[in-house]
Amino acid sequence: MIKYLIVDDEHIAHDIIKQYADLLPNLQLMKHCYDAIEALEYLNAHNVDLIFLDLNMPKLKGFEFLRSLSAPPQIIVTTAYKEHALESYELNVADYLLKPFSFERFLKAVNKVIHSDTNTAKHEKSPNHIFLRCDKKYIQIDTSTISYMEASGNYTKIITADETITVRKKISDLLFIFKCPDLIQVHKSFVVSKKSIKSIEGNRIFMDDHTIPIGRTYKLQVIQLLK
């Protein structure tokens, strides 16, 4: 579970961020802070994994607040001012969201936090987790549980040990998103997990309950597995 704060002097910004975060099952709001002083007081007694931070606030500006933290958590900047983007990355923020931002852009920022090595160490989260849209909701996929993926046009079936999930993404796009070295494409319509392979014979890969064809143009990749 990722514990987070919202630090923003605008109530509507709090409402939007919480509305988006409530769609994701592993985000837990710890406190609404309407200025940086309030956030500092909370952080003196509590730990969080992530802060959604506005920059233009009374009393103490966002970057001044960030510089005051000796061991800052992950930071996602949420601001209406694009001119501070370069400075934010010099302060090693996870992402910079320009208001107004969509849920898809918010989701991309959260996925960066999930994949961050720093945040992984804090909440012992595998970097192989990522959110994908399925029907009208977003679900979290752990790539370490994937047995194989099967493409069908613009859709892809993700088969794990426990379930089959169909998402509206091309199989090539999923490979790029996951960036998982255990997943290898063996056919234009199939990606398999190396650890799920039981045997390879001719142009076929045998798994526990499935047989996957090997495409001619992907044969070399499969041969590399045998070396």
The per-residue pLDDT for 15 is 97
Among 3.30.365.10, 3.40.190.10, 3.90.1150.10, 3.40.50.2300, name the CATH number for the domain at 2-123: 3.40.50.2300
The per-residue pLDDT for 116 is 66
CB 20 within 8 A of CB 46: no
Pairing of strands 50-53, 95-98: unpaired
With CA atoms as reference, report the closest residue to 30 among 72, 1, 68: 1
Query: Distance between CA atoms of 54 and 10, rounded to whole angstroms?
Result: 9
CB 9 within 8 A of CB 58: yes
Domain 129-225 has CATH 2.40.50.1020: yes
The per-residue pLDDT for 204 is 93
- Break the chain into its structural domains and give their ranges: 2-123, 129-225
How far CA 86 is from CA of 31, 61, 106, 187, 227, in Å, comes to 28, 16, 19, 42, 46
The per-residue pLDDT for 119 is 46
Q: What is the average per-residue pLDDT within 55-63?
A: 89
With CA atoms as reference, report the closest residue to 186 among 168, 203, 164: 203
Q: Is the pTM of this model over 0.75?
A: no
The pLDDT-based confidence of 206 (bands split at 50, 70, 90) is very high
